[in-house]
Amino acid sequence: MDYFSILNLNKEPFSNSPDPEYFFHSQQHVACLQKLELSLRLRRGLNVVIGDVGTGKTTLCRQLIRRFKDDATIETHLILDPYFTTPHAFLLVVTEMLAAEKPDKNEDDYQLKERIKHLLFQKGVDEKKTTVLIIDEGQKIPEFCLELLREFLNYETNDYKLLQIAIFAQQEFDNVLKQYANFTDRINLYHRLEPMSFSDTRNMIQFRLNQSSAVSQKLALFTYPAMWAIFRATRGYPRKIVNLCHRSMLTMIIQNRTKANWFLVQSCMKRAFEATPKRSWLVATLLVAFIVAGIVLVPRFLPERPAAVVPAPPESYGISTSAKNDPVAQDIAGRKTDNPTHAGQAQAAKTEIAAVITQPAPQPGVPAKIAEPTRVVPQPADSSAEKTFLRQRPKALGQLRVQRKETLGGLIQKVYGIFNLPYLYAVIEMNPHIADPDTIAIGEVIVFPAIPLKIRPQHQKRWWIELKRPEDIRAAFSLLRKDYRLAASSRLIPFWDESSGLQFSIISNQYYYDAATAENTINSLSPEEKTESRLLSAWGDATVFYANPYLGP
């Protein structure tokens, strides 16, 4: 459409039609397609794919048909709506598909089934073809159709099934399968589609923009925080992602903007999901009520806890952000304005800062948690100042000056190993000079709070390759900014222990479960890299992590 040319697009990137050109190859969708294709080519019979509304089932149907369209040995047939009022109506449709002509309406059910059997043997045995029947909206299949499909699966040779069936259905189809054991026993492949991760959500948005781009360079129409807001609002469901992105882009065009930020996405969320069932609002209201009650009542029954839960201002770390001492702060102060919309968002941000910042679990299903603040133990009179300093946990990891093409979200991702809103809010809280997290200026100084993680003990031993051990966060980023290969293949792990204080380790993305493999990897490095690299086999029991070393690549 013409109005999308304003954003350098030659077509609509977030259409809700299942266009195969806009199929994003997420890890789970590719895995599902590969399993389906293998099962169908091996003629294994019945395959079922289950997923919530909007997880991409219909798009997978189209992709499956597209994969087979140039293969003369495979014949595909698609039923979009399997709701039939009678068995005869279903048999007429299947017969017409296989015979490529309308059957005689006077034929009874037995005659139609015999004709279907004959056609399947002709195609599968005589013509050496694989006949595939794909059914979308499988949750609508009537009981009598399941029985007929079960009969079709009985048409087979000694080596393979003559009819291959792929059913794409919503979650309620699981209840149907539980009731029909004779049908369920014939399932060869059962695959459940889940919502996408934040990484896949971000890559899907960028993929669709690239597919629609009218220019050669990569389009950056959504900021990093905006993409996180989209992920949080949609929970990773592709259809909801497309819907919210479409509304955000329309708002960009109406407001004459060239980029969608976190605030713009937030303003579009209510309009995009205004049809949320009332029951969901009731559940949300009750949940908020319980949380508020917990915040008010629980502290009365707990022992007194140490203060300093909220990060202290940067001045307490010896870092000046006042206008008179920092020219960057002077520039920011000069252009900072009071925006009531942003003020409201900031108030919401402060509420969410109190939430637990979670990391992906080292073990499946076991989340990492924020470590409890540690009370500083008074030292004897003869302790040195340096030793006392090392025993105190830092309140900040350090400060960085923003360089060209760097974003606040990207810096948070590199420092903590993961980006989420609580981290964003904590950084904004420590840096009051940030007027808009989506438009930080080159040269702006950002202080990163020390947010400790409590990681459960690991039962399986692991090895890491430490590539560099920089002195501080600025030295670490100096290395990562200069060496693109190092930045792409490694992660920064800030950590603290009582003996050495705050430290920074640049480790490889991959960890290993045996020392031999890790040593072989080190030996394959260049002589210069090999000299500085070393093998890590354990972290101290009292180590406090500010990024999770157990995260996978």
Mean pLDDT by 10 residues, the chain (553 residues): 70 79 82 90 92 87 87 91 91 91 85 92 92 93 92 91 94 90 90 89 89 79 89 90 90 86 85 50 53 52 38 40 38 39 45 41 39 36 45 88 88 89 87 82 92 78 88 92 84 89 90 84 83 83 87 64
Classify residue 414 as left (phi > 0), alpha (psi -120 to 50) or beta: alpha
CB 435 within 8 A of CB 509: no
User: What pLDDT shows up at residue 286?
Assistant: 57
In DSSP terms, which residues pair with 9 in a beta bridge? Answer: 213
**Type and span of the H or E element at 201:** helix 198-212
Q: Which residue has the tokens 């930020």?
A: 261
In DSSP terms, which residues pair with 130 in a beta bridge? Answer: 74
Please give the domain boundaries of the chain with CATH numbers for all domains.
2-18+197-272 (1.10.8), 27-193 (3.40.50.300), 356-423+438-553 (no CATH)
In DSSP terms, which residues pair with 168 in a beta bridge? Answer: 49
Cα dihedral 400, 401, 406, 410, rounded to 10, equals: 20
CB 187 within 8 A of CB 222: no
User: Rounded to a whole number, what is the distance in angstroms from the first to the last CA of the chain?
Assistant: 40
User: What pLDDT shows up at residue 383?
Assistant: 44
Residue 243 CB: number of other CB atoms within 10 A? 18
User: What pLDDT shows up at residue 319?
Assistant: 38
